Amino acid sequence: MAQCVQSVQELIPDSFVPCVAALCSDEAERLTRLNHLSFAELLKPFSRLTSEVHMRDPNNQLHVIKNLKIAVSNIITQPPQPGAIRKLLNDVVSGSQPAEGLVANVITAGDYDLNISATTPWFESYRETFLQSMPASDHEFLNHYLACMLVTSSSEAEPMEQFSKLSQEQHRIQHNNDYSYPKWFIPNTLKYYVLLHDVSAGDEQRAESIYEEMKQKYGTQGCYLLKINSRTPNRASDEQIPDPWSQYLQKNSIQNQESYEDGPCTITSNKNSDSNLLSLDGLDNEVKVDGLPNNFRTHPLQLDPSGDSSNSIDGPDHVKSASSLHETKKANAGIIHGACLTLTDHDRIRQFIQEFTFRGLLPHIEKTIRQLNDQLISRKGLSRSLFSATKKWFSGSKVPEKSINELKNTSGLLYPPEAPELQIRKMADLCFLVQHYDLAYSCYHTAKKDFLNDQAMLYAAGALEMAAVSAFLQPGAPRPYPAHYMDTAIQTYRDICKNMVLAERCVLLSAEILKSQSKYSEAAALLIRLTSEDSDLRSALLLEQAAHCFINMKSPMVRKYAFHMILAGHRFSKAGQKKHALRCYCQAMQVYKGKGWSLAEDHINFTIGRQSYTLRQLDNAVSAFRHILINESKQSAAQQGAFLREYLYVYKNVSQLSPDGPLPQLPLPYINSSATRVFFGHDRRPADGEKQAATHVSLDQEYDSESSQQWRELEEHVVAVVNRGVLPSNFHPTEYCLNRYSDNSRFPLTVVEEPITVEVAFRNPLKVPLLLTDLSLLWKFQPKDVSGKENEVKELVKGEPEMIGTEVVSEFLINSEESKVARLKLFPHHIGELHILGVVYNLGTIQGSMTVDGIGALPGCHTGKHSLSMSVRGRQDLEIQGPRLNNTKEEKTSIKYGPDRRLDPIITEEMPLLESEAGVKEFHIVQVSSSSKHWKLQKSVNLSENKDAKLANREKGKFCFKAIRCKEEEVATQSSEKYTFADIIFGNEQIVSSASPCADFFYRSLSSELKKPQAQSSLHTEKQSIEDTMRLIQKCNEVDLNIVVLWKAYVVEDSKQLILEGQHHVVLRTIGKEAFSYPQKQEPPEMELLKFFRPENTTVSSRPSVEQLSNLIRTSLHYPESFSHPFHQKSLCLVPVTLLLSNCSKADVDVIVDLRHKTTSPEALEIHGSFTWLGQTQYKLHLKSQELHSLQLKACFVHTGVYNLGTPRVFAKLSDQVTVFETSQQSSMPALIIINNV
């Protein structure tokens, strides 16, 4: 639990104090109302004694009482309404918030540094109000009235007669059966007669005379003359007197909501009415008007009494608003309390409390304890007093007590007032109120046994509760705190008696005791135990205190603290305590933030956002929702959509508060600023014969460092030639396209009237699409006149078209989790310095998305192709970090970055532009030929041979051909003696590929390959044999097929159409690997650490790889795609299947076919059924060089379904090899068959 202002040794005595009633005449109440106080309120600041007091116990031993406090309240005749008390507790909690600038405790636990509030004043206020507002009960006497002050004024016509009437009124209330409330401790209540005298207006001699008469009638110990109002109200502002009442009345102002012109209402003893008693002192002050307590009847959160059938304080918390409460507090803030009282009057009131306690109350209590002790001795037949016989009672054999579960539900049992068991309880409560905890414990323990024997569970639970507290408070701690007593009491109150109020009191007291003993784990368990659905406010406060217990342990349990703070925040929110809910979630966020618990962090941020919005903390709400969106969310698409809509809704409300303010930063979509590219000049036009700028770069091509270097060297060469072979010192290569690889340290130059294209890389991290509307660049421009003089800086989004024209993209849709670039243009019309700052747009979602958490699509505007559910206007800056500097020593020893100027171009005057005119309109594939020693193209699979294959500008085409192996005699008859040429014609005429120019080009390239040095043959026979084997296996996958593509291109140049012819050669060497007509750019290998190895480990293994061995045999299954069988006639379905095996090598191969393999994975069995192969389960075959073998199999099925026949396993090895090169063949694609029933 959090730290408290009071220790538990101070808290408990202050929570259980002697109760004194007050009954005042009209005139006496009028005197106190001059100070805006009732009589009971007048005494509150002085109700604690400033010195020790003494009394004697039944054994005539002197007992010392320290810091004794009494509670004086006006008489009420009905208990407070449970619903009103709930509202009172809600108001007390909502009215107590963390102080501004409060220094929080910093708790370090592991990786966590948590700022946690050291105290929780809202909980202490709740606890104090809860304990004070508990109605009196019949099973205990702790808050029963021990005495009654009868107060009248010296200005009364007949004060003594008024005292008699007040006395009769008190007697009627206590002993008349019409009144069940309030509760009185004993029948013979102490009556103390108080004469109020107004010093400024009254007759002092008459007051003294009346007081003398009172002493003669009531005795000097039973009356008192209290002089007040030593100054008149009109002199109240002359001297500033301290106001000790404010701290008490602030708590009571919640309950006293009714405004009065002359101050609080008087407490009256009406001559014409014997039932209407008015009081104004906290919960104990009521007026019975139409059956309702007056002080709650005007409460701003008052429940309808007809709808409140609850009979307990606790219940579901329904809180509407505390606005009226704050208005009342504001209205009462200017009231001065005690305006007619001087410091001397303060001392007189303090002295009055001392005299009443010393001469009246304590002697009465001492006498009552002796009387009760004597009664118990006589009734129990004991020879000694109860105090002396304590040891005798607790000695000897003990009767085992029954457990709570074994006892019957007799919580409704009532004892008569004169029952001996109640007399013991009365004596115990009296001893407890005067801090005599030893005797109190003895009495409680005895009463507990009697109650349990009678199975009076409500009484037994009360005795157990107070026995545990008394044992703890005993001086010198003679016995340990019996926590099990409290546990039994809580269980009895809650489960048997169904009284959550008394159970809560037990928990509050026991938790404080356990906390004082550093038993935080037990205290937390106890607090959590009482959380339930009947009271959200109580559950929230107890969960928060449990969280503080977890964090205050010797080894702080940080995650349990955070988890219970989340639970507390949730219950605070349900109870209507939005500020406390927000505070709890913010406290817990310290633990969850940045720890990878993204779902928990999203939930907390979402709740913080909603609570902040409810409290009109709009900036905090926007910040919380922004955090949800900028993190890599793991939420579902529907939940992300809800988060986004909530953010847009809140953001829109914020922007409406300051419509003319600067555009704020939007969190979505992500922008990769470093990937921003800037292109200066006109776009490339399609190849339609128009002239276009002569440039070698565009935004449609990737950056190529080699090509860029070649163009740079070519430009340097041209410039050097122009300058007579000397390159100027200020020369810099021209950069048309700036990116992350270019040198951006200088301000780029661009020409006026030539567009600037900025490519911005967006990424949508969400699973819902984002729609950006009115997307454009945000820029700042400093124009210059022709002479070079600078003008004022203009920062514009759009407008001022005479300076910079801005292209606006009306709609830009980014799908879920998509990365997409937007090309935005500016058109400079004036020279000067341009600074591109970022992008500006409306962020929204597409209408029609599902509703989550009650948040539906809000009405939006219809723009373009998509309908926006809601959108907000904002910006994102393009902040590009330059390269890290690493030249000087200072730069190497620190982290510094250079500038990146790609977004800061200088607009210069117009310059000449070189243009060119060329383009390919159409591309025809005329013929595709092949050249190989062993393979040749047979036919085209997807196109007819008589149809031209045409490709338009920037179009891609895909062609598929079938190649077959050449026959031996065909190879021998070829003029080339080695190579076979084949042609597939797409045009109208055939081009002989075996002649010029195709053959010439082919043989020239072939001769260059033959000139490469060949590997020397091995000298060792064994090694040669292994290499031959490796070669045979490798050849299984080699084709060495040369593809020749003959084409025609129709080109437009200088308004004329030309036909260009050409050819491309592509070499296919290995099956399964891509081949290209031009060399591919090789990615540089990643840098690896230097590795050292021994020379003997460098030998290459002569064993073929699994991939190479798997190519020895190729397999294929032939079977019907579907097969119908009458299962009702014949249960087994047999399907013939042919397995083809092809030897791909030029050597003999031994093959093993194993049919025993079955699919065992649950996933495969769920998709494909199980079947059985009939006949042999294993076949051993011998395949000669390039032999094709057919194996007939039968598959057996027992029911319909879809089956995968690709289960046979094939093994192979070369026949002439001793070493077993045996491996399983590669699994082919699933061979699916459908079995139907006829």
DSSP 531-561: --TT-HHHHHHHHHHHHHHHHTSSS--HHHH
Side chain identity, residue 800: E
What is the C-alpha separation between 144 and 517, in angstroms, rounded?
A: 31
Q: Measure the CA–CA gap between 577 and 96, rounded to whole angstroms.
A: 11
Low-confidence ranges of the chain (pLDDT < 50): 253-325, 327-328, 382-402, 404-409, 797-798, 849-863, 945-946, 974-976, 1015-1020, 1097-1100
- Concatenate the DSSP letters of all residues of 686-711 into one string: PSSS--EE--S--TTS---HHHHHHH
pLDDT for residue 216: 93
pLDDT at position 904 = 92
> From CA 439, how far away is CA 57, in angstroms rounded?
9
The pLDDT value given to residue 1089: 62
Residue 671 backbone dihedrals phi, psi, to 5 degrees: -120, 125
Strand partners, 812: 772
- Cβ count within 10 A of residue 558: 18
Residue 733: burial class (beta carbons within 10 Å; 0-12, 13-18, 19+): middle
Q: So what's the pLDDT on residue 698?
A: 78
Q: CA of 1143: how far to CAs of 470, 970, 1068, in Å?
A: 98, 21, 21
Q: How far is Cα 299 from Cα 289, in angstroms, rounded to an integer?
A: 14
Amino acid code (one letter) for 407 = L
pLDDT value, residue 824:
94
Q: Please, what sign has the CA dihedral across residues 650, 655, 657, 663?
A: positive
Pairwise CA distance, residues 638 & 852, whole Å: 7
pLDDT score, position 867? 56
For the entire predicted model, the pTM comes to 0.66
Structure tokens at 858: 């809000």
Instruction: Quote the tokens at residue 779.
Output: 């820029």
Element housing 453 (H / E)? helix 437-453
| SS3 state at 1084 | coil
Q: Do residues 568 and 584 lie in contact, with contact meaning Cβ atoms separated by under 8 Å? A: yes
State the pLDDT at residue 1168: 62
